[in-house]
Amino acid sequence: MKLTEEQLKTFDELGYLYLPGCFNAEEVARLKAAAQDVFSEQREEIWREKNGVPRTAFACHKYNQTCNALVGDHRLVEPLEQLFGEQVYVHQFKINAKAAFTGEVWQWHQDFPTWHKDDGMPEPRAMNIAIFLDDVMPINGPLMIVPKSHKHGALQSSHDQQTTSYPLWTLDNDTVTKLVENNGIVTPTGKAGGVLMFHANIVHGSAGNITPYPRRIVYLTLSALSNAITNPTRPEFIAHTDFTPVTSASDGMDQQCLAALSS
């Protein structure tokens, strides 16, 4: 699945691209069932909120078949190959739960500084591409993005190990305030099955979720093959060191996705 010229331009300008309806209801149902299986396990790869509710399931593509099948999906792989102009490998695979009632905040951050400082990733030639497993609404902790913030490169960040259970290199309030003053905040919302891709240096975060609506998202982080990490300090299940290129596989959903892309 290739992005159009216009989509490439939008991505370059804004730093993100939201593609509604890329996965159909049946696929979403399969992925939700997989997420439920994954989150019911007791494993070290599943990180929890401070109250014990699952927050993130890392590397579940290693032990869950449905998740594994998603890794090579052409709707996720090809746009990133296109952007990087080369093959990609899996840097990280995770499901973020943002559980109903208890899903906690993700503080304002860029992804690349964490990948760079904690994993030794050379350049921001990697990216998150996300699949919405639930309807993402304004009320259930949608991702908040500061458009165009990726143009500032890697901003100064500090290591937040206090706010949540997940250590993260986060931005200070003054930096976020200035960026937001210039370009505001967008919250790409939409039905389950939508796909959201965003630049490694885009500034983003999300508030807690107090609603009865869970907001599960699968994040596939793909890196350009030439951008393999050099100094991983985090567990292998968080920063993979298998640099085998991903083989893109079509599953016959092309028509649906192309329709979404041309709309």
**Residues near a second copy, by CB under 8 A:** 100-101, 105, 107-108, 138-139, 141, 144, 173, 176-177, 180-181, 185, 187, 205-212
Nearer to a second copy, 73 or 104 (CB): 104
CA distances from 76 to 97, 99, 205, 246 (A): 20, 24, 22, 11
Amino acid, res. 219? Y
Nearest distance in Å: CB 138, a second copy: 4
Output the smallest distance, CB 36 to a second copy, in A: 17
Q: Quick one: 69 or 180, whose CB is closer to a second copy?
A: 180
- Smallest distance from a second copy to CB 48, Å: 17
Q: Which is nearer to a second copy, 182 or 244 (CB)?
A: 182
Rounded CA separation 117/161 (Å):
14
CA distance 14 to 197: 11
What DSSP string runs through 183-242? H--B---B-TT-EEEEETT-EEEE--B-SS----EEEEEEEEGGG--S---S-TTTS---
Based on CB atoms, which residue is closest to a second copy, 25 or 139?
139
| Residue number, 27 or 49, with CB nearest to a second copy | 49
Q: How far is the CB of 126 from a second copy (least distance, A)?
A: 25
Min separation Cβ 212 and a second copy, Å: 4
